[in-house]
Amino acid sequence: MNYFPNYYSIEDIFVTQEKVECKVNTKLQRMGFLDAGAEGDDLEPGRTVNLPLWYIKELKVNNAYFTVSVPDIYKNVHKAVCEAETTHIELGRLHPYFYEFGRYLTPYDRNHVIGRIIFETMRQRVRHLLDISKNDGHMAKSELRLDNIEAKLHEAGVRTNTQYINWLQLTGNKIVISELVEEHQKKRKRELSDDESSLPSSKRATL
Amino acid sequence: MSRANKLFGDKAFELLKDLERSSQTIPAFDDDGVRQVLEEIKAIFEENVAQASSYNSSGDRSLWPLLNYRHAALQRNKRCLLAYLYERSKRIKTLRWEFGPIIPGDIKQALCEPEVQFFNNYSKSLAAFMCNAGCSQGQGIDLTNNLHPPKSLYIEVRCMEDYGKFELDDGELIHLKKNSQHYLPRAQVESLVRQGILQHIA
């Protein structure tokens, strides 16, 4: 798994689309459209607005316009980390991009805990991840509720495990049909059979 | 006065979301979506230009955060668009390695004209590279062959569908009918196995 957030990486764009709660510090002219409930054209100080991360990360950390507040989920996880109970939390349900989001929010945290929280959670969960990825039976993804990075690691682990077992059992020598081709053929067959059952004149479905 | 939600960047993000969550290998090129995003970019840019020119004449710094926000929105739209195009071109490249030099008709309908040209140019570059890479042996190496280390020279295959006639390198003609089994040299039939026309048995 070669995840490295770059300009083109889609996960990074998804993460920066998340909204963060901020408090407005100074009066901002004609920015009233950012606040859904405001009446006037200007953004009044003291109001809380939900701003997307891609805007916040362009501004300086200690800028005079907004104060970024850290979401509650990190405070809850902080409690769990201190009690060393992180393996049981369903990170995927809390936030699908827990680690990446935390990484972006670290500079805004006044208490300087987020960085440590993310690191400690990952450290405690990695062992558990290793164990479940060695599990042969397919656990449905939705049961596990892993965060994005953990899901990728899990997938890589499962893939390596199957390759290893195939090598041990000498079954991996056949040339296999490529995955894309297989999906394509299945889709074509499905469309053909749908067509024949629905229309009396069998016309080939076009995408 | 009802205010439309002017948080820019939503349409561009939708493009990416649809691409990521689509069940097809390459969904149809969203011409409309891309055009809308481009128009949004133009509109934001023009607003910004008007405001910047007024700042130049008056020197009033109070509207600077608005300028900054619009600039961030412009960059965001641009990034989403570029990522959309880049992801599609990545998938087109994998198409070449999986399906061979010819795209199946229904996938080709989902691509727009420049993307088809991109595929053809990529195919050409790949062919030129393979030709040059095998210079020492006289002919080029086929890089799309032998993706796993081969264990034997000849393999036993069964035909999955009617393919017709297939000519081997030494001129021998094989008639590939459904469910017929053959014992053929690996190097030449590997591409057929990967296409799903033949199936490798034991």
Name the percent of chain A lying above pLDDT 70.
87
SS3 call for A171: coil
Rounded Cα distance, B161 and B177, in Å: 7
Average pLDDT over residues A142-167: 83
Helix (H, G, I), strand (E, B), or coil: what is residue B193?
helix
Determine, for residues B194 and A177 on separate chains, whether the beta-carbon distance falls below 8 Å. Answer: yes
**CA-angle at B7, arms to B3 and B10, nearest 5°:** 125
Tell me the per-residue pLDDT of B146-166, one tens digit each, with 9 for 90 and over. 777 777 888 888 888 888 888
Class of domain B3-132 as given by CATH: mainly alpha
Range among A162-176, B114-128, B170-184 rated most confident: B114-128
Residues of A in contact with B99 (CB under 8 A): 178, 180-181, 184
Predicted confidence (pLDDT) at residue A204 exceeds the cutoff of 70: no
Identify which of A8, A175, A184 has the shortest CB distance to residue B82: A8
Token duo for residue A177: 């049909």
Statement: residue B5 has pLDDT above 60: no
Q: B87 and A10 in contact by Cβ < 8 A? A: yes
CB contact under 8 A, B155 and A33: no
Residue B147 phi/psi, 5-degree rounding, is -70, -25
Is there a contact between A54 and B9 if contact means CB atoms under 8 Å apart? yes
| CB nearest to A207's CB, from B63, B106, B151 | B106
According to the model, what pLDDT value does residue B124 have?
A: 92
What are the Cα distances from residue A151, in Å, to A15, A103, A132, A143, A148? 15, 18, 11, 12, 5
Give the strand order in the sheet containing B181-185. B181-185, B154-159, B198-200
Which tokens hold the place of A139?
């656990």
From the list A115, A112, A105, A118, the residue with the least C-alpha distance to A22 is A105
Kindly report the average pLDDT of chain A as a whole number: 79
Residue A7 to residue B5, Cβ atoms within 8 A: no
Select the residue of A54, A177, A181 nearest B76 (Cβ to Cβ). Answer: A54
Q: Which helix (H) or strand (E) holds B97?
A: helix B64-99
Span A105-119, pLDDT tens digits? 888 877 778 888 888
The predicted structure's pLDDT at residue A51: 85
Q: Using a CB-CB distance cutoff of 8 angstroms, which residues of chain B are in contact with residue A178?
A: 98-99, 194-195
Q: Do B86 and A8 touch (CB under 8 A)?
A: yes
| Confidence at residue A157, expressed as pLDDT on a 0 to 100 scale | 87
Q: Which residues of B17-38 are buried (b: 16+ CB within 10 A; e: fewer)?
A: eebeeeeebbbebbeebbeebe
Q: Contact B201/B158 with Cβ under 8 angstroms?
A: yes
Split at pLDDT 50, 70, 90, the class of A201 is very low
Q: Token pair 């709660």 is at which residue?
A: A21
pLDDT for res B191? 79
Tens digit of each residue's pLDDT (9 = 90 or more) over A73-90? 888 777 777 777 777 777
Which residues in chain A are closer than 8 Å to B62, comparing Cβ atoms? 29
Give residue for tokens 């077992």: A165
pLDDT over 90 for what percent of chain B? 5
Range in A10-14, A183-187, B15-19 the model is least confident about: A183-187
Q: What residue spans define the domains of chain B?
A: 3-132, 154-200
Cβ pairs bridging A and B (under 8 Å)? 107
Cβ <8 Å between B194 and A14 = no
Question: Lowest-pLDDT range, A96-110, A136-150, B41-55?
Answer: A136-150
> Taking a C-beta distance cutoff of 8 angstroms, is the pair A142, A154 a contact?
no
Residues in chain B closer than 8 A to A31 (CB atoms): 65-66, 69
Spatial distance between the Cα atoms of A6 and A29, rounded to a whole number of angstroms: 34
**pLDDT confidence bin for B3, thresholds 50/70/90:** very low
What does pTM read for this prediction?
0.84
> Among all residues of chain A, which has the CA nearest to that of B75?
A54
- pLDDT tier at A138, thresholds 50, 70, 90: low
Question: Can you give the three-state secondary structure of A26-51, one letter per residue?
Answer: CCECCCHHHCCCCCCCCECCCCEEEE
Predicted interface score ipTM higher than 0.85: no
Mutation test of the interface with chain B: which of A43, A177, A191, choosing the one with the most B Cβ atoms within 10 A? A177
Q: What is the pLDDT of residues A48-80, one digit of tens each?
A: 888 888 888 888 777 778 888 888 888 877 777
Q: Identify which has the larger pLDDT, B25 or A159.
A: A159
Q: Tell me the mean pLDDT in the region A149-173.
A: 84
**How far apart are the C-alpha atoms of A51 and B3, rounded to whole Å?**
17
pLDDT confidence band for B122 (50 / 70 / 90): very high
Q: Tens digit of pLDDT for each residue in B70-109?
A: 888 888 989 988 999 898 898 888 888 888 788 888 788 8
Rounded CA gap, B74 and B199, in Å?
51
Which among A9, A13, A188 is the top mutation candidate for probing chain B, defined by the most B β-carbons within 10 Å of its own β-carbon? A13
Does the pLDDT at position B121 exceed 90?
A: yes
Q: Considering only alpha carbons, which residue of chain A is nearest residue B92? A: A180
What's the rounded mean pLDDT across residues A1-23?
84
